[in-house]
Structure 1
Amino acid sequence: MHSAELPDLRARQDADGACIADDAADLDNAAFARRVRRAASALRARGVGRGDVVALLLPNTADFVVALFAAWRLGAAVTPVNPALTESEVRYQLGDAGAAVAVTAGPSPLAGALPVAELSTGPEDTTAPETDAGALALLIYTSGSTGRPKGVMLDHANLAAMAEMMTGTARLTETDHSLLILPLFHVNGIVVGVLSPLLAGGRVTVAGRFRAETFFDLVATVRPTCFSAVPAIYSMLAELPDHVRPDTSSVRFAACGAAPMPAALIERFERRYDIPVLEGYGLSEGTCASTTNPLYGRRKPGTVGLPLPGQQVAVMDPQGRIAPAGATGEVVVRGPNVMRGYLGRPEETARTVIDGWLHTGDVGRFDEDGYLVLVDRIKDLIIRGGENIYPKEIETVLGDHPEVLEAAVVGAAEPRLGEVPVAFVALRPGASATTADLLDHCRARLAEFKVPTGITLVGRLPRNPVGKTDKPALRSGTTALTTAG
């Protein structure tokens, strides 16, 4: 079944059945379908149709899900926008995606913005939903090695394949209730947190801003059967005071992705709350997940589990050959979940997807039981509490400062967030900029989560034998740096 048909189908099969809720609304299947049809009508009135792109600049609410399905009903794709981005970052994404309209939470300086309140008024769209499986469904933006965000093109066939994989692996049924705490501008939140349980006949509660102190109160109230989170969230929950003893009996499992989760943290969380944690691994380019520890079967903390049914996951050597069991190499993925490519970037697509294999840029190996162990990352990606940060983007911003000669950004370990970006900056001769000046410069141009947590002024950056910045030396701190000023 095509995703665009889901609201109408659920309404026909069980009009009064629970569908989606948030802090302000609790929609049954019939009400959800009506909201989607009204939103589709409002989008159509703005000229949105087949092949267009709709940007959703919205917080985690049921309205986001309504707008998502409304766009799909018209044959349009959706590009979710992180609300934490600066205006210039938002404008770049909308321009690169060619968005026909941006749906916003309220009045916006963006030209042609459509406030979400307008989606719930007016007539219902009565045309049949568009059902082309090859049509573009999502444009998920992720930073590239050049520092410029790029759009990952996922079609409806990608989404259907991933939802089927997740539904089978997690054994989702109409009795399941997903508590969504991950942001909806990530593919995980959309496909795993919303689409999969709804396709299985279950329901979704969209949580607002996550707070560890109140999370289990929400669990006690809505009684979910599953949720997905990042390691930073599990760390905060595991560190709650000892007197916090919540009722977690409704929860069948919790999923974890976006960044490696320490085995000790998994064990501590499971022991305290009696909730099995299914750690997995995947990329936006692979529609979210490629491996996961099994719900029913042996879970191996310290690994990211087994390949999902329907996908091939392998380790490849530098010559492009599949490496033997136990060997270390680049993790590659092949299957119906692999993206169509990067929007407007055929050369980058060709470098990333070769003979059907998605090259992840991650290094790993399979253990003796066939579980994937991630060893390192080829790329310089920094994962801060589940948010992907590419150093080049920060380096470019720092380099734009008139007093900066050169800059390098690396990840530094942080107990709760996993990693945070730190910068090393060499100033031009005679410059007087301070670290505070440089941080203010970054805050004006970058989302807060991308701003370095610290900047070290150095006389020069270390170089490797071929003249490139020696980032391993910066990470390890083994190279002596001359502090400027």
Structure 2
Amino acid sequence: MTIGYLPWGRPNGVASRPCLRDSRHELTYAEVARRADAIAEQLSERGIGEGDVVAIMLPNRVELLLVMLAAWRLGATVTPINPVFTANESEYQLRDSGAALVVNSGSQASTVGLPSIAVDALRTEPAGVLPDRGVRPEELALLIYTSGSTGRPKGVMLEHANLLAMASMVSGHLGLTDADHCLLVLPLFHVNAICVSFLSSMLAGGQLTVLERFAPLSFLEAVERHRPTYFAAVPTIYARLAELPAEVVPDTSSLRFAICGAAPVSRELLERCEERFGFVMVEGYGLSEGTCVSTCNPVEGVRKLGTVGPALPGQQIATISPEGEILPPGEVGEVVVRGANVMRGYLNRPEETAATIVDGWLRTGDVGRVDEDGCLVLVDRVKDMIIRGGENLYPKEIESVLYGHPAVLEAAVVGAPHPVYGEVPIAYVVAYPDVSVTVDGLLVHCRQSLTKIKLPVEIHLLDALPKNPVGKIDKPSLRRALQLR
């Protein structure tokens, strides 16, 4: 099996093509391969080899990807760490992953005594002493740590076979070619950015421009300057773009499409962005345990808004009953996924792995249904369900109604403890700038679509909702605040 996203396996005709760039560098495929070799030699001298784990704690920049490639060149595994983690958070990941070396900015003190290499000390020219070595599909490529909203983060083990399957599925589904150019804006400690933006582009022979961080105006300036053909982002980013003043009219004509994923998004926000900016919006769904994406609406053809699309080629998707039986189309149950993209398992957690991967099916913890066209409609997270007096309420249903109000930019609904009903729904809402909205007005809107037991007992108007490092609305923090009232 040829692992086509590795730059040193490219034919000579591709060597001079643009490959990676950021604000500091612009590298061809040949230059990327040479830089990866130079860093691989440096890692090898520090004792890194097959089976070792290299931790990378850097903001978005080309060197992060070069170190990743260099580690793979040696048969090592990479665990990317959020560069703004606290010492406690980063030390946990370093210890749990068994990292042997850290590549960082040189300023982090928290390396738990591990050897480290500062990013500015990375070599740029190889000595030519690396032995020829093929990267094998069964080798462990990534240890991606889950957000840990239900406990300590777990290390998701992804092999090169998983990454290659994912990159092939995404590239084929989106119709990527060597003419495509991805603008990467999501954080590279997350599997979405690695697979959808980086590896899929490399597999297709395209190019990647890396932005260190997102800000609405500078992002749109980058679109105008670099002329990308696509990008992937989370709903929060699209919300920030949608709230820009009407006089901001960027040239987005180079974009073939944009992808929205990693968290639920309202139909209203998708339509608003598509109408305003003129690019096709496709919503997808997946999780780290499935190497990133399991379903996605097509760029060409019928896109079913309100669904996250059909399963990608090579994957199966279904729903199951609480007893584990596969349900027929249209019936609501836990979403399960099967395919070559499903993780090897959780690092050093065999019992949790066995509970998550059952008979080859990955149990996602999401509730949904597969419609008559094979498209997945998400209902909610299993753990987000609110049980009010014995009735199951799904926050996403209430949020969807709130999003239907023209003033609502973002909404989150969580369950609050109640002495009689057990739990009741509480809503948090952010309005569009300069748009007037009241709690009473939102309640009147909700009463038009929701039965009494589904109505939020409280609606709080906020300037912003809390977000986790990936940009998802941080519902656990909202729940914790309610517990302390």
- Cα distance in 2 for partners of 1:354, 1:207 equals 39
User: Which residue in the other structure is 2:66 paired with?
Assistant: 66
User: Which residue in the other structure is 1:120 paired with?
Assistant: 123
Over 3 Å counting, the alpha-carbon distance change for 1:122 and 1:416 in structure 2 is farther
User: Which residue in the other structure is 2:293 paired with?
Assistant: 289
TM-score normalised over the length of structure 2? 0.79
Cα drift, residue 95 of structure 1: 0.5
The reply on whether 1:133 has 2:115 as its aligned counterpart is no
Over 3 Å counting, the alpha-carbon distance change for 1:205 and 1:260 in structure 2 is same
The reply on whether 1:313 has 2:317 as its aligned counterpart is yes
- Cα distance in 2 for partners of 1:237, 1:99 equals 38
Out of 275, 280, 289, the position equivalent to 1:276 is 280
Over 3 Å counting, the alpha-carbon distance change for 1:67 and 1:3 in structure 2 is farther
- Cα distance in 2 for partners of 1:160, 1:455 equals 39
User: Which residue in the other structure is 2:151 paired with?
Assistant: 147
Cα drift, residue 61 of structure 1: 0.4
Cα drift, residue 88 of structure 1: 1.1
Out of 169, 188, 192, the position equivalent to 1:188 is 192
Contact 2:270 2:281 survives alignment (8 Å) = yes
Over 3 Å counting, the alpha-carbon distance change for 1:81 and 1:213 in structure 2 is same
Contact 2:19 2:27 survives alignment (8 Å) = yes
Contact 1:57 1:105 survives alignment (8 Å) = yes
Aligned residue for 1:307, secondary structure, equals: coil
Out of 199, 203, 213, the position equivalent to 2:203 is 199
Contact 2:34 2:126 survives alignment (8 Å) = no
Cα drift, residue 171 of structure 1: 0.5
User: Which residue in the other structure is 2:231 paired with?
Assistant: 227
Aligned residue for 1:149, secondary structure, equals: coil
TM-score normalised over the length of structure 1? 0.79
User: Which residue in the other structure is 2:98 paired with?
Assistant: 98
- Cα distance in 1 for partners of 2:120, 2:11 equals 23
Cα drift, residue 411 of structure 1: 8.8
What is the letter of the counterpart of residue 6 of structure 2? L
Superposition RMSD on alpha carbons, in Å? 2.8
Cα drift, residue 117 of structure 1: 2.0
User: Which residue in the other structure is 1:165 paired with?
Assistant: 169
Over 3 Å counting, the alpha-carbon distance change for 1:453 and 1:213 in structure 2 is farther
Contact 1:178 1:224 survives alignment (8 Å) = yes
The reply on whether 1:322 has 2:326 as its aligned counterpart is yes
Structure 2: runs of 5 or more not aligned:
386-394, 397-413, 415-422, 433-467
What is the letter of the counterpart of residue 240 of structure 1? L
- Deviations 1:67-125 (CA, angstroms, capped at 9, x unpaired): 01000000001001011211111011010000010110223322312111222256445
- Deviations 1:119-141 (CA, angstroms, capped at 9, x unpaired): 22564453223321101000000
The runs of at least 4 aligned residues of structure 1 exceeding 6 Å deviation read 446-451
- Cα distance in 2 for partners of 1:146, 1:372 equals 24
User: Which residue in the other structure is 1:395 paired with?
Assistant: none
What is the letter of the counterpart of residue 269 of structure 1? C
Over 3 Å counting, the alpha-carbon distance change for 1:266 and 1:93 in structure 2 is same
Over 3 Å counting, the alpha-carbon distance change for 1:103 and 1:220 in structure 2 is same
What is the letter of the counterpart of residue 302 of structure 1? G
Contact 1:42 1:122 survives alignment (8 Å) = no
Deviates more, 1:296-305 or 1:446-455: 446-455
What is the letter of the counterpart of residue 330 of structure 2? G
Cα drift, residue 457 of structure 1: 7.9
Percent of residue pairs identical: 53
What is the letter of the counterpart of residue 176 of structure 1? D
What is the letter of the counterpart of residue 103 of structure 2? V
Contact 2:319 2:333 survives alignment (8 Å) = yes
Out of 258, 264, 270, the position equivalent to 2:268 is 264
User: Which residue in the other structure is 2:375 paired with?
Assistant: 371
Cα drift, residue 170 of structure 1: 0.4
User: Which residue in the other structure is 2:439 paired with?
Assistant: none
- Cα distance in 2 for partners of 1:294, 1:102 equals 39
- Deviations 1:328-349 (CA, angstroms, capped at 9, x unpaired): 0000000000000000000000
Over 3 Å counting, the alpha-carbon distance change for 1:457 and 1:13 in structure 2 is closer
- Cα distance in 2 for partners of 1:87, 1:11 equals 44
Cα drift, residue 318 of structure 1: 1.2
Cα drift, residue 145 of structure 1: 6.5
User: Which residue in the other structure is 1:36 paired with?
Assistant: 36
Cα drift, residue 144 of structure 1: 4.5
- Cα distance in 2 for partners of 1:351, 1:142 equals 16
What is the letter of the counterpart of residue 115 of structure 1? A
Contact 2:4 2:203 survives alignment (8 Å) = no
User: Which residue in the other structure is 1:333 paired with?
Assistant: 337
User: Which residue in the other structure is 1:86 paired with?
Assistant: 86
